[in-house]
Each structure stands twice: as C-alpha cells, then as structure tokens.
Structure 1
Amino acid sequence: MPDYSKQYSGNTPKGQPRHQEHNQFGGKAKPFGAKETKAELLARMKAAAEKNKQAD
C-alpha cells in the first residue's frame, strides 16, 4: 500500500498573505504609529472633493 502522506509537500502557514500589499499596515505608505490628525484628514478629504469637482 503506498504512503500518500509523503506525496505532497507540507502545508502552507494558515492566515498569512501570499504576497505583500503596497499599502499594508506597517509598510512605507502606512508606517506603524502614524495617525493623521483630524485637521489633516479634513484637508485631504476637501482636496479630494475639489479634485473631483474639477474633473466633472
């Protein structure tokens, strides 16, 4: 009787991504501990809204 347990390689670790995201937490785009203030967030949102108004 063949031993099928030796046929395949080991299981991959569970719960780990297969690749790295460009904006993952702790990366260059989102470093750990970096949290923008509410004023910075509002300024960014207003700039995005203005950009969308100009595009239309």
Structure 2
Amino acid sequence: MDYKAAGAPKMGKKAPKHEEHNAHGSGKKPFGAREDKAALLARMKKAAAEKKKG
C-alpha cells in the first residue's frame, strides 16, 4: 500500500491557510474598495500642509 498518497494534499509552505472574508477586490468587501494611491497622497499632503501651517 502507498501510504504517501493517503490523506489530504499538503499546501505550499508559504500559502495562506485561508482566504479573508473581506479581502480587497472580493465580492464580499463590506467596507468598499481600496482607494487609489493618488487619493492617499493628496490626503497626506493636505494633512502635512495643515500641520505645518498651524
């Protein structure tokens, strides 16, 4: 008997054990999609300018 083939197949070592239920880009994302980098940079620049101003 081939005991090596018995049981569940092994996952890769670096593979995640499960998928997140609210991963970005999935259909079940309850909090909307990830915003683009341009919007993030604009928000950071605005906050830095306000902090520098006063």
TM-score, length of structure 1 as denominator length:
0.34
TM-score, length of structure 2 as denominator length:
0.35
Which of the pair has the greater relative contact order for Cα pairs under 8 Å at 6+ separation?
A: 2
